[in-house]
C-alpha cells in the first residue's frame, strides 16, 4: 500500500504553531520580498562584474532532465548567460516518495508534454539500467564545457530513452568518458552544490537565489532574464513558453467526465481549484470531485526544503496565471481538514460540495482564516452558501472516510498517481481514459478535452 491509514500520521499543531507557520510562509512567498531578493542578487552580480550565471543540475535517469537538456543550447543562444552544468544523484526517499511510481509516471508525463514544446521523448520509453546510467554519467563527467555537456546529454538521452543500446554504447565510448572515481566525484560535487543552494531534484535551473524546475518553470527564468536585459538581439524567445488554456474552449458535453482529485492542504490544489472548475464549466465536461486526504496525513513525509519550495513555487505560478493565492496562510493540517471533509457529503447533497471545498481552500491559503477554530470553519461553511446550524450538528462524523479512501485507491491503483491535484478524463464510450498530475498540467487536460470535442 502506498500510504499509511489516515490514523497513522495525524498532526494537530497548536493555534500558536499554526499562526507562526502562517507568518513564516507569508513572508517566504511575499512578492515584495522576492523582488527585493532579486534586486539584491543583481546588485551583487554587477558589483562583482560577473555574468548572468545559470546553473543546471542534470539527473541522468530523469525524463524531465532529458527534456531540459534539449533546451540548454537554445538558452545560451538566446540569452547572454554563462551556463554551469552539474551532474547530480537522485533525491532522498523523503523527497521522492513512491520512487518507482514516480519513475514510471515521469516517463509517461514527459511523452505527453514533449510535443507541445517541440521536444522529443518516446511514448514507449525504455527503463534505464544501472549500467546504462553509469555509462552516461561517465560520458557527461568527461565533458569539458557546458556546450559539450548539453550535446552529450541530449544525444545520450535520446539513445537511452529510445532503447538504442548499441548506439548508446557507441556514443558513450566515443565521448572520452571520465573514470569511475572522477565520475563519482563530479556527481558528489553536483549533489552537494544542489543541497547547499537548497534543493533536492533533477532538471533544476538556479539563478540569482531562485530555483526553476525543468521546462515547466523555464518561462519564469526567461522573464527574469528579459527584465534584466539579457536577451540576445534577434533571439526568438521565449524558448519554453507557458502553455495557455483556450479561454473559449469547444464543448464536449456531459458524456465526458473530468475527475478531479484535490486535497484540502495542498498549495497546488488551492491554486488550481477555481481554474479547474472554470475549465469544466467552459467545456461542459461533467465535473466529478474526488477529494483525498493530504499526503502528510497519509503518512508520507514532506521535508522542510521541499515544503518551502512548493509554497514559493505555487505563489509564483499563481501570480503568472492571475490566480488569487497566498495573501495569507493558516495551515489546516489535521482536524480542520477532517472536519471539513465530514461536511462534504452533506454539502454535495445540497448541491454545494464544490463550493465547500473551494471556500475552505480560499480560507486556508488566501484569507488567513484559522480553520482549526469553530469561527473559522463557520466562515467556510457560510461562504459556501450553507447553514452553519445544520453543519454544526453533523460536524466530525466519519461518513466521509470510506469515500476518500476509495478515491485514494482509485488514484493510486488505477491512475498510478499519489499526489494532488490529479486529473482523469473519461468518455465518451470507446475512448481511452487520460490521466495526469499537477496544477501545471491543467493546460494538458484542456488540450485533451479539446481533442475529444473534435472527435464528436
Q: Are 284 and 201 in the same domain?
A: no
Structural domain contains residue 78: yes
Together in a domain, 389 and 341: yes
Q: Are residues 160 and 121 located together in one domain of the fold?
A: yes
Q: Do 195 and 287 have their domain in common?
A: no
- CA-to-CA distance for 12 and 9, rounded, in angstroms? 10
Residue 252 in any domain: the answer is no
User: DSSP for 35-86?
Assistant: HHHHHHHHHHHHHHT--EEEEEEE-TT-HHHHHHHTTHHHHHHHB-EEEEEE
Identify the burial level of 131 via C-beta atoms within 10 angstroms of its C-beta, where 0-12 means exposed, 13-18 middle and 19 or more buried. Answer: exposed
Give the 3-state secondary structure of residue 345.
helix
Q: Same structural domain for residues 311 and 171?
A: no
Q: Is residue 336 part of a domain?
A: yes
Q: Which of 206, 227, 248 is the last residue of a domain?
A: 227
Residue 366 CB neighbour total at 10 angstroms: 18
* Residue 390 exposed, middle or buried by CB count within 10 Å (0-12, 13-18, 19+): middle
Q: Show the cell assigned to 331.
A: 495551515
Q: Which pTM does this prediction carry? A: 0.93
* 49 and 160 share one domain: yes
Residues 272 and 409 placed together within one structural domain of the fold: yes
Q: How many domains does the chain have?
A: 2
Tell me if 304 is assigned to some domain.
Answer: yes
Q: In whole angstroms, give the CA distance from residue 237 to residue 79.
A: 9
Residues 438 and 304 in one domain: yes
Q: In what order do the strands lie in the sheet with 210-213?
A: 81-87, 52-58, 204-207, 210-213
Domain presence at residue 26: no
Residues facing residue 423 across a β-bridge: 260, 436
| Residue at 15 is within a domain | no
In a domain, 6, yes or no: no
Closest CA to 66 of 147, 151, 162, 154: 154
Residue 223 and residue 265 in one domain = no
Is the CB of residue 154 less than 8 Å from the CB of residue 106? no
How are the residues of the chain apportioned to helix, strand and coil, as percentages rounded to the nearest 5? 55, 10, 35
Tell me, yes or no, whether 213 and 91 share the same domain. yes
Kindly report each contact of residues 180-184 with a partner whose C-beta sits within 8 Å and lies 24 or more positions away, as own/partner: 180/138, 182/141, 182/142, 183/87, 183/134, 183/137, 183/138, 183/141
Whole-Å CA distances, 160 to 80, 136, 223, 287, 428: 31, 9, 32, 39, 36
Alpha-helix runs per DSSP H in 129-254: 130-141, 146-162, 165-173, 180-197, 214-227
CATH number at residue 307: 3.40.30.10
The answer to whether residue 313 sits within a structural domain is yes
CA distance 268 to 278: 16
**Parent domain of 66:** 34-227
Residues 292 and 431 in one domain: yes
Do residues 108 and 223 share a domain? yes
CA dihedral over 102, 104, 106, 112, signed as positive or negative: negative
pLDDT by position in tens, the chain (length 456): 333 333 333 477 877 788 777 777 777 788 999 999 999 999 999 999 999 999 999 999 999 999 999 999 999 999 999 999 999 999 998 888 889 999 999 999 999 999 999 999 999 999 999 999 999 999 999 999 999 999 999 999 999 999 999 999 999 999 999 999 999 999 999 999 999 999 999 999 999 999 999 999 999 999 999 999 999 999 999 999 999 999 899 999 889 999 999 999 999 999 999 999 999 999 999 999 999 999 878 767 678 899 889 999 999 999 999 999 988 889 999 999 999 999 999 999 999 999 999 999 999 999 999 999 999 999 999 999 999 999 999 999 999 999 999 999 999 999 999 899 999 999 999 899 999 999 999 999 999 999 999 887
Return the axis-axis angle of helices 374-383 and 353-362, rounded to nearest 10°. Answer: 130
Amino acid at each position: 500500500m502506498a500510504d499509511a491509514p489516515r490514523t497513522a500520521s495525524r498532526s494537530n499543531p497548536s493555534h500558536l504553531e499554526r499562526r507562526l507557520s502562517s507568518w513564516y510562509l507569508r513572508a517566504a512567498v511575499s512578492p515584495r520580498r522576492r523582488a527585493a531578493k532579486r534586486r539584491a542578487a543583481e546588485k551583487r552580480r554587477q558589483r562583482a562584474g560577473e555574468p548572468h550565471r545559470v546553473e543546471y543540475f542534470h539527473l541522468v535517469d530523469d525524463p524531465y532532465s532529458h527534456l531540459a537538456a534539449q533546451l540548454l543550447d537554445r538558452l545560451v543562444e538566446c540569452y547572454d548567460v554563462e551556463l554551469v552544468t552539474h551532474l547530480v544523484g537522485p533525491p532522498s526517499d523523503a523527497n521522492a516518495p513512491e520512487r518507482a511510481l514516480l519513475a514510471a509516471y515521469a516517463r509517461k508525463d514527459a511523452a505527453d508534454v514533449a510535443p507541445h514544446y517541440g521536444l522529443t521523448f518516446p511514448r514507449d520509453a525504455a527503463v534505464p539500467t544501472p549500467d546504462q546510467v553509469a555509462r552516461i554519467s561517465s560520458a557527461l563527467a568527461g565533458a569539458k564545457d557546458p556546450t559539450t555537456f548539453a550535446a552529450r546529454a541530449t544525444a545520450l538521452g535520446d539513445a537511452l530513452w529510445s532503447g538504442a543500446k548499441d548506439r548508446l554504447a557507441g556514443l558513450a565510448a566515443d565521448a572520452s568518458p571520465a573514470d569511475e572515481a572522477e565520475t563519482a566525484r563530479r556527481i558528489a560535487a553536483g549533489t552537494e552544490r544542489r543541497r547547499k543552494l537548497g534543493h533536492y531534484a533533477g532538471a533544476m535551473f538556479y539563478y540569482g537565489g531562485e530555483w526553476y524546475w525543468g521546462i515547466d518553470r523555464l518561462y519564469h527564468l526567461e522573464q527574469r532574464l528579459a527584465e534584466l536585459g539579457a536577451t540576445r538581439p534577434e533571439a526568438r524567445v521565449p524558448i519554453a513558453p507557458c502553455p495557455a488554456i483556450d479561454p473559449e474552449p469547444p464543448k464536449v458535453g456531459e458524456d465526458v467526465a473530468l475527475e478531479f482529485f484535490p486535497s484540502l492542504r495542498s498549495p497546488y490544489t488551492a491554486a488550481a481549484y477555481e481554474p479547474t472548475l472554470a475549465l469544466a464549466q467552459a467545456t461542459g465536461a461533467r465535473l466529478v470531485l474526488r477529494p483525498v486526504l493530504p499526503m502528510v496525513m497519509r503518512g508520507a513525509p514532506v521535508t522542510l526544503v521541499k515544503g518551502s519550495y512548493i509554497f514559493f513555487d505555487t505563489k509564483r505560478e499563481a501570480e503568472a496565471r492571475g490566480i488569487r493565492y497566498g495573501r495569507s496562510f493558516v495551515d489546516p493540517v489535521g482536524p480542520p481538514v477532517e472536519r471539513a471533509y465530514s461536511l462534504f457529503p452533506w454539502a454535495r447533497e445540497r448541491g454545494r460540495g464544490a463550493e465547500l471545498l473551494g471556500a475552505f481552500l480560499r480560507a486556508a491559503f488566501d484569507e488567513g482564516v484559522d480553520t482549526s477554530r469553530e469561527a473559522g470553519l463557520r466562515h467556510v461553511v457560510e461562504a459556501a452558501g450553507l447553514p452553519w446550524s445544520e453543519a454544526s450538528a453533523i460536524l466530525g462524523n466519519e461518513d466521509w472516510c470510506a469515500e476518500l479512501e476509495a478515491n485514494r485507491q482509485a488514484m493510486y491503483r488505477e491512475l498510478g498517481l499519489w499526489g494532488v491535484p490529479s486529473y482523469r478524463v473519461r468518455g465518451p464510450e470507446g475512448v481511452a481514459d487520460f490521466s495526469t498530475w499537477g496544477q501545471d498540467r491543467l493546460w494538458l487536460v484542456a488540450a485533451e478535452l479539446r481533442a475529444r470535442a473534435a472527435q464528436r
